Structure 1
């Protein structure tokens, strides 16, 4: 399916709108709203969904229809209706996104043809610059909503985000009223959670609100021996400090521990020991875990945010956020398994003890002001962004192999009994990442339904990598790199009517040539600048059926240049001349067809390719130009239906299709398309008490969640959960 250049389509569509809608209603400015304010964009919303704020896709408090970009907002109601248990499962409602949580890269997400190294996965608008690892799925209880922005968006939050931005917004104290809620669930995992919010006026604290969120989940997951326990605790305090000044203090603590993590299931091999073609798995190995019995993944995360909001006038608003992130992650595992001896035995290798000690401090100031330019309404936003990111890694790696064992009843083995392994944490390297940035945004109404939206960000990034081990020519005692990326967006929106808009935009991004800055070192960055990404996008947004339905359509073209590739003339070196591109189409829609039925659907087509890419195969540099990046499907489809049978009972169903994906850059190993069906029911036993039932993967489909050339990470089989939700 060829994709026309969106910039050409933009010129055609926007120039013809004068003929289609010369008398179109002039676009009005959206009411002022606090940044990251509460969003209600579900299929059951009483008001047109596209009128809602676009959240973190802009600092101008734009509505979704005013934003010249593809933005998806999944609110709390939609999260609960789909039964999403964690932050990754919420992404099912975002067109074109696939995801998985293998232990070594639990933030494995692909969007518009790009992987987690080229995506920004934010937490309350904050990046810790380690998204593929740090963006582990978090239990969804503490999540208020998730916002997704398609395409380059470094102009919002800094380096990264060539493929898009995913932002998880957690619950904090607000003025929506008192909340008392208890949630108990049982099934493949057990969960107990509670929400409590109180206005403190009765205690003499006029205008102050306190909120507490607690969540605990645990249980054996589907693979042999893979037990998981997790808890989250969050507290926030909203208090007025004076006229039009409020302060919110938000604290959060997360803990997760997985015993004997599942790293994947080995593929069957040909007689010569190679793997090629479609995945072939031995059905008898499904659910078998070959990791050491005492294998471990454990994480402790703390967040602290201080948010000050001041509105000196109706036209002006100021927000300052100071934040601190502290994370400690530990791994003790044997991570690689493959079939040997004509697929009769499994060989285990690659023991890794690893610790990540990471802390991030940051300060962000945002000032917005509404005014006029030559009689045209204009809204400005500007500010600064400062952060200091420090991470030390403590790796101990032993290659092995260590033993061979039965594929069906693997012999118990233990991490500390593995030859060469000990639990001694010796620092390897520390990355010190300083970022200072200035940014500005503007939206100006041009008349006759036209509006121009622009954004610009200037970053100054300083990276110091300190080697704590033996100094070599390729691992110096100190490596320093300095980057000065300039990124931005320019968009044009046209109202064809009050319910129908079209837009065109160009945006840019910058990210490392490989890896992430929080862990990148000498080999990845010497003689390199950040890679450059740019996107042209054309889209349309439509509300219909008197606001009971909405639809968005986007066509895009993204190019990322300066990827690190093997030098064809010297395979021991890498050079910054690689390129990758992606063209695609995304459709998202929701329709409240009647008081009983709500229907929704998403569809995406992605043509992702390496334009220039060379990797070493054996001793030979080999071109992969024209091949598709690993784990990127061409087609993703999703459908959902909610039926309110009566005042007490609501039934729901959702279906998701993921197209064929390749496991390697050579495109010689692949997994065929798969589809998953989910069913749910909600029964209001009383006005305060609701019973919920959810079945995922109803057909018990065997599928691969994350592909690799040797060890695919399989998705979960059928699962069932039942819960009681009490609001009192």
Structure 2
């Protein structure tokens, strides 16, 4: 998992402001053979076994290589009745067809079954000021006994790479993604007025059947532009995304169960439910994207990065339900956004640099277009955004310390948020903005001691937003968006006692967050800490014992309106054994 801060690189086809997470799968390679196995066991019977190996066919002169990675998890939970089983198998085959041409075939299969998943804990009523939960409800699961979430995913890729010269590389990737996801749960809980029972609602049976077909062609070139060293990267991405949803949603109250309920009923006990998958709509999304990025060294210490991306997105939605004025038999929308960015970097010294950048973006207004409905698209165009950022990066000559500091401002227009009174619907937001400062540092005061940390401060604001309160629109302009902390900080300390033994502690702090757009309800901030001890048997074998939330702090990770909160894990431990070959 690669976290890309700031505006995402256009090379990954993600032009959104703020950042992105890039999922990278290991692939076969020709430079070495390797193998590794990792086993872990922790609190609540949570165990994982993973192994992987890369094997060259033909030794050091090999022209082929095969890699296989597999993992399996069987885990319980601190939440009553919640269990998860998951497995992943990834395989790739690399063939060097010619000195300048190679091909990789990669396939990945994922299977996950989560039994009686946890959706949140009801908060004390009446909900006023700071939200809190009853001690009797912590760790309780008010989902039905046969609640379920599962997914079955297949992902295949054909990667062809051609290097016609030392300055050029051409890559072509043909890909196919196939996923089937199922939900069967009662997901909404509210305490009674006397806080002596749990009122359950939000019954949902849903299936997502999704297929994606695509081809991405990329070209990178190192050369000169007006005599200046420059790098070019351009690409064309064409894809077809088809998804059919099969929802059965019942918003009515199911029942009221006691606080200590262990297995409160089954899904089919709810009136109106049935294990029948009736299609609602099919979203067909055709996308063509052309993107170009250039990095030019204006001087030995000054470089300019520019990028532009042009998309053509055609969404065709077929309604499988009854036709109404708000749900037509078929509708189509076309979007043609053009986005870009520019960044200037000045290397003051080899150890110090400053930069400034500006970027724009266009994204779906709520969720993703492959699941959007007519009501959403009728009221919204694409969400547009812009981001300005300045920052600096510093490092000592000996490499023992580093620091980064960045200040930014982001403005997003025409976006949507979830309606807290109706989680299946969205509310339009005219504009939302944020400004913030992020800092990170690393310090090695001793050869055996390392200290690293980061701190983020953000001031986020709803600039243009009206909330329906009792049928009357009320402006929430100037308020902070829900579940947005103003401060987040992390600190890690690691000390190596001997070549074999090491230990460390980690600290995390999150400030309070508002639970509603009116900013009248909030969740408490929290601080947690953990520790680990590592033993290296030799260069290839390592054992680590890790503890999390050692203060056993009950804390809210995020609020779900005025009735529920999602709680973080309590004190837990884990033993991890890793061996390489």
Question: Aligned ranges for residues 73-472 of structure 1 at < 5 Å?
Answer: 145-150=1-6, 152-153=7-8, 155-158=10-13, 161-188=16-43, 189-202=46-59, 206-270=62-126, 275-410=127-262, 412-472=264-324
Aligned position for 1:628: 480
Distance in 2 (CA, whole Å) between partners of 1:630 and 1:676 is 22
| Number of equivalences | 572
Deviation at 1:296, TM superposition (A): 0.4
Q: Report the CA distance between 1:341 and its aligned residue.
A: 4.4
Against the structure 1 CA distance between its residues 166 and 473, is the aligned structure 2 distance closer, same or farther, given a 3 Å change threshold?
A: same
* RMSD (Å) for aligned C-alpha atoms: 2.0
- Which runs of 5 or more residues in structure 2 are unaligned? 419-424
CA shift for structure 1 position 411: 5.5
Aligned mates of 1:577, 1:599 — CA distance in 2: 41
The equivalent of 2:421 in structure 1 is: none
Of Structure 1 and Structure 2, the greater helix share is in 1
Which residue does the alignment assign to 2:569? 716
Shift in alpha-carbon separation, 1:291–1:514, aligned structure 2, 3 A? same
Residues 77-123 of structure 1 show CA distances to partners (whole Å, capped at 9, x for unaligned) of xxxxxxxxxxxxxxxxxxxxxxxxxxxxxxxxxxxxxxxxxxxxxxx
Aligned partner of 1:534 among 359, 364, 386: 386
Structure 2 CA distance, aligned partners of 1:159 and 1:647? Answer: 43
Provide the residue aligned with 2:372 in structure 1.
520
Q: Separation in 1 of the partners of 2:107 and 2:165? A: 29
Q: CA deviation at 1:232?
A: 0.8
CA shift for structure 1 position 660: 1.1
Q: CA deviation at 1:295?
A: 0.5
1:532 Cα offset (Å): 1.2
Question: Normalization by structure 2: what TM-score?
Answer: 0.95
Q: Structure 1: how far apart are the matches of 2:365 and 2:541?
A: 52
The SS at the match of 1:284 is helix
Please state whether the residue corresponding to 1:434 is helix, strand or coil: strand
1:593 deviates by 3.6
**Any idea what SS the aligned residue of 1:526 has?**
helix
User: Structure 2 CA distance, aligned partners of 1:356 and 1:194?
Assistant: 30
What is residue 493 of structure 1 aligned with on the other side? 345
Paired position in structure 2 for 1:703? 555
**1:411/1:178 CA distance change after superposition, 3 Å:** closer
Aligned-pair CA distance for 1:598: 1.9
Q: Indicate which of 503, 512, 519 corresponds to 1:660.
A: 512
Shift of 1:665: 1.3
Aligned to 2:413: 561
Structure 1 unaligned spans of 5+: 1-144, 567-572
Q: Give the 3 Å change call, closer, same or farther, for CA 726–565 of structure 1 in structure 2.
A: closer
Deviation string 1:190-220 (CA, Å, 9 cap, x unpaired) is 1111111111115x98222211111111121
Counterpart CA distance in 1 for 2:408 and 2:173 is 33
Q: Is the strand fraction higher in 1 or 2?
A: 2
Q: CA-to-partner distance for each residue in 1:356-378, whole Å, 9 max, x for gaps?
A: 11111111111111111222111
TM, length-normalised to structure 1: 0.76
C-alpha offsets along residues 612-642 of structure 1, whole Å, 9 cap, x if unaligned?
A: 1112112111111011111110001011011
Q: Secondary structure at the match of 2:119?
A: coil
1:545 CA drift (Å): 4.0
* Deviation of the 1:162 alpha carbon: 3.2
User: Aligned pair in 2 of structure 1 residues 574, 661: CA closer, same or farther (>3 Å)?
Assistant: closer
C-alpha distance 390-487 of structure 1, shift in aligned 2 (>3 A)? same
Q: 1:560 to 1:329 in 2, by over 3 A?
A: same
* Partner-residue secondary structure (3-state), 1:312: strand
Cα displacement (A) at 1:178 = 1.6
Change (3 A) 1:305 1:205: farther
Once the 2 structures are TM-superposed, how far is the Cα of residue 146 of structure 1 from its aligned partner? Answer: 1.5
Work out whether residues 154 and 488 of structure 1, in 8 Å CA contact, stay in contact via their aligned partners in 2.
no
Change (3 A) 1:577 1:260: closer
CA–CA separation in structure 2 for the residues paired with 1:317 and 1:635: 43
Equivalent position SS for 2:29: coil
Rounded to whole Å, the distance in 1 between the matches of 2:63 and 2:564 is 55
- Judge conservation of contact 1:585–1:606 (CA < 8 Å) in 2: yes
Following superposition, the deviation at residue 689 of structure 1 comes to 2.3
Q: Is the 8 A contact 2:10 2:293 kept in 1?
A: no
- Measure the CA separation in 1 of the matches of 2:81 and 2:374: 39
| Distance (Å, rounded) in 1 between the aligned partners of 2:100 and 2:76 | 50
SS in 2 for 1:685: strand
Q: Match of 2:422?
A: none
Distance in 2 (CA, whole Å) between partners of 1:456 and 1:194 is 41
- Residue in 2 that maps onto 1:677: 529
User: What is the aligned counterpart of 2:546 among 673, 694, 697?
Assistant: 694
Q: Which residue of 2 aligns with 1:597?
A: 449
1:609 counterpart residue number: 461
Alpha-carbon shift at residue 450 of structure 1 (Å): 1.2
1:157 positional shift: 4.6
**Partner Cα distance (2:438, 2:20) in 1:** 16
Partner of 1:579: 431
Shift of 1:496: 0.3
Distance 2:279 2:555 in 1: 38
Structure 2 residue aligned with 1:110:
none
